[in-house]
Amino acid sequence: MRTESRFLLLYGSQRGQAKSIAEEICDQAEGLGVVADAYCLSQKEKYNLEKEIAPVVFVVSTTGDGEPPDTALAFVRGIKKKTLPSDHFEHMRYALLALGDTNYSNFCNCGKTIDSRLQELGAKRFYPTGHADDGVGLEIVVEPWIEGLWEAVRKALSEMSASGQERLDQAETDPNGYVGKQDEPNTDKFGGDLNIQLLSLHDPVPGLSDVGPQREGAGAEAGAAYTLLTRSQPPVSESSLSIPTLPPPFIDVQLLNTSPQEVISPFSLPHVPVSRAVRLTGEGAVKTALLLELDVSEHQMDYQPGDSFDIHCPNSCAEVDELLRRLGLSQQKSCSVQLQLRADTKKKAAQIPSYIPERCSLQYLFTWCLEIRSVLKKAFLRSLVEYTSNPAEKRRLQELCSKQGSAEYNSFIRDPGLCLLDLLRAFTSCLPPLSILIEHLPKLQPRSYSAASSSLSHPGKLLFVFNIVEFPACAERPIPRRGVCTGWLADMVSSVLQPSGGVFVSLRPSSAFHLPADPTVPIVMVGPGTGVAPFIGFLQHRYNQEAAFGETWLFFGCRYKDREFLFREELENFVARGTLTHLKVCFSRDAGDGEELGPKYVQHNLHLHAQQVGNVLLKQNGCFYVCGDARNMAKDVNEALIEIVGKELQVDKLEAMKVVAGLREEKRYLQDIWS
Ligand code: FAD
């Protein structure tokens, strides 16, 4: 009987990142002669951890306020059961890669929860846990983590093979002994020979090929504007390169000349008209904020203030056209796209992406299904090398996906957020087939927005506010652009702000970010800029309710009072009518106009009212809400809150942090933040 060098790879993905990292691990494993049985954590029928005798590798992301991704919810719930004995997973050897974002609270919480629970249940780590931070770039941790994984897997396999043999021996006499997965014959798994062979780290690794230096004329024919991207320079240009394994192709595409079945709507979602559009910022504002009103009266869309919803937006028409032109596919844009798995693919668990409908047109595929703006990953660059004819360009692409070119990849691709179109503009001899793009471009994700209205004030309507996201040109990315969704919405309502067209919307699952059920509970709301949106909904709601309310604080901030004070009139009216007890505003760029310098940012204003805020939270059991920018504001506000709690309770920072963590747990400190 033959032994496979097999391990189980389980992923829990919300937006596809954990899945694509798991796929990368699978592909690398393949190149190393190891079999990774990869499954989503939700595919419970495919694996059985209670009886798993191979190493297990987990890749899990975290979503929302530290929640498990939807696909991992049942799994996490299952392992948290209090009835499980402390030796439940004693047989398990595992490694775990947790994905998170330090811009959000509870960094990598899902991974940490699984990790500590597995330990409590007796499982042993065979490799240190990785915590990758999307805030600075997942690959900083992911790449070295995967690199080190192979040696650890090799060791774990050989250690487990010994104990596996014991279990095998036992199984021959023990009718309850387990060998292999239940749905497969025992002999398919660890058969007689349990000496698992893996390539030693000193053996040549098939995953990394050596490419010699080639300096002459590097980048010479590349698009002039992208010189930083296309120019090979020492030391990378003089170095031998270790480049990733070529991801195994797995999709065959056919373009059929018949017109595709007409797709009436891209989603089975409400398509709602935009009934009003207002520019909230004045001339000269740094960012343009727009308020849109959606007419949802024809649809069953019950929402509460504090809820958010998704807008399913298309990619920019101009970019789709340019891409099709560049790929030589303009004439075929109405052709129907037929996808099939390649019969000979070496990719494990290859699947046709579920988000591409059958027989959609080529134009539809690029407009509604693929995130064509996604930042180029190294695996994608590696695949593009194969379709680049100019040797200098080919070498440069190899450099950018190589281990030696990591810093250049970060500076010229990751940080400026370069996408496929940027690369095709710069590397003029690169002509990838459609199949490669479908394999590498992720799903076009909807964008979320917080409701800025209460249905009590606006029956049948859903309002939201957004800043038009601008990415000005820079040396690394010479062509400026706007955010996919906000750019599209801004174009839709056009220069005269005439509402036209409609949007596909879906409500997001309700979170805890709601007004307290008891109206007498006092609340503190912190929402600078567009972060004020849900609080407008809160206040409208309260204005329409007959009840005795607790004290209500709102901390708002922006750069300039005259241009960016969103909802000024409405907020001042709320104060005049007593719906809002305290409105505290600050303007970060208004210094030097003769006025006395006030607080610049919301956290400064919080400090100025530390005692009252402390009272609301610590003495009156109040709630503290924060909405808006996750990168800076939410962190600064969190720091301020810890200081306020420390000061008010006269405790040190550690103790104050515990109190703040307690507030979070009690759902009295709630965040709705984004970056
Ligand atoms: P995108 O095209 O998605 O670009 C924005 C992001 O892409 C940037 O954050 C950046 O990370 C990356 N990026 C792309 N290109 C580059 C580049 N060249 N350089 C650097 N980075 C790049 N927004 C609001 O305005 N109002 C709200 O009420 C609101 N509520 C939200 C609620 C929730 C629960 C969440 C998760 C988000 C919310 N957002 C809100 C954010 C919103 O969903 C979008 O992210 C935002 O509007 C930008 O979308 P976009 O498609 O225009 O930009």
Q: Is the CB of residue 177 below 6 angstroms from any atom belonging to ligand 1?
A: no
SS (H, E, C) 318-341: HHHHHHHHHCCCHHHCCCEEEEEE
Task: Specify the pLDDT at position 33.
Answer: 82
What would the pLDDT profile of 482-496 be if each residue is shown by its tens digit? 999 999 999 988 755
What is the number of residues in the chain? 675
Task: Answer whether 466 contacts ligand 1 (Cβ < 6 A).
Answer: yes
Helix (H) or strand (E) holding 350, with range, is none
Q: CA 111, CA 18: separation in Å to the nearest integer?
A: 11
Residue 449 in tokens: 């927005």
Decide: 535 in ligand 1 pocket, CB within 6 A.
Answer: no
Whole-number Å distance, alpha carbon 675 to ligand 1 midpoint, is 6
- Does the beta carbon of 449 sit less than 6 angstroms from any atom of ligand 1? yes
Strand extents, DSSP E, 445-515: 447-450, 461-467, 470-471, 481-482, 502-507
Residue 281: the pLDDT is: 93
**The tokens 């660890």 sit on which residue?**
190
Q: What is the Å distance from ligand 1's center to 486 Cα?
A: 8
The residue whose C-alpha atom lies closest to atom 16 belonging to ligand 1 is 417
Give the position, in ligand 1's atom list, of the atom nearest the Cα of 675: 9
Atom 8 (ligand 1) nearest CA: 675
Q: Whose CA is nearest to atom 13 of ligand 1?
A: 417
Ligand 1 centre to CA of 447 (Å) is: 7
Burial tier of 505 (Cβ tally within 10 Å: 0-12, 13-18, 19+): buried
- Look at residue 222 and tell me whether its pLDDT is greater than 90: no
Distance 445 CA to ligand 1 centre (A): 11
pLDDT in tens, 70-117: 999 999 999 999 999 999 999 999 999 999 988 787 899 999 999 999
Pocket lining: 478 vs ligand 1, CB cutoff 6 Å: no
- The end-to-end CA distance of the chain, in Å, is 54
Is it the case that residue 225 has pLDDT exceeding 90?
A: no
| Cβ count within 10 A of residue 211 | 18
CA of 509 to the centre of ligand 1 (A): 19
Q: How far is the CA of 82 from the centre of ligand 1 (A)?
A: 39
Per-residue pLDDT at 221 = 42
The answer to whether residues 348 and 416 touch, using CB atoms and an 8 Å cutoff, is no
- Least confidently predicted of 242-246, 267-271, 501-505, 596-600: 596-600
pLDDT, one tens digit per residue, over 359-387 is 899 999 999 999 999 999 999 999 999 99
467 Cβ closer than 6 Å to some ligand 1 atom: yes
* 469 CB within 6 A, ligand 1: yes
Compute, in angstroms, the gap from residue 621 CA to the centroid of ligand 1: 34
| 277 strand-pairing partners | 292
Please indicate whether residue 485, judged by its CB atom, sits closer than 6 Å to ligand 1: yes
Amino acid at 66: G
Q: Is the pLDDT of residue 176 over 70?
A: no
Q: Per residue in 240-284, pLDDT tens?
A: 999 988 889 999 999 998 766 655 556 678 889 999 999 999 888
511 lines ligand 1 (CB under 6 A): no
Give me ligand 1 centre to Cα 468, in Å: 9
Q: Which atom of ligand 1 is nearest to the CA of 467?
A: 25
Please work out whether the CB of residue 671 comes within 6 Å of at least one atom of ligand 1. no
Ligand 1 pocket residue status of 488, Cβ below 6 Å: no
Beta-bridge partner residues of 430? 388
Q: Convert 618-635 to b/e letters by CB count within 10 Å (16 or more is b).
A: eeeebbbbbbbbbeebbb
**Best mutation site among 313, 469, 629 for ligand 1 pocket (most ligand atoms within 8 Å of CB):** 469
Q: What angle do CA 101, 102, 107 make, to 5 degrees?
A: 75
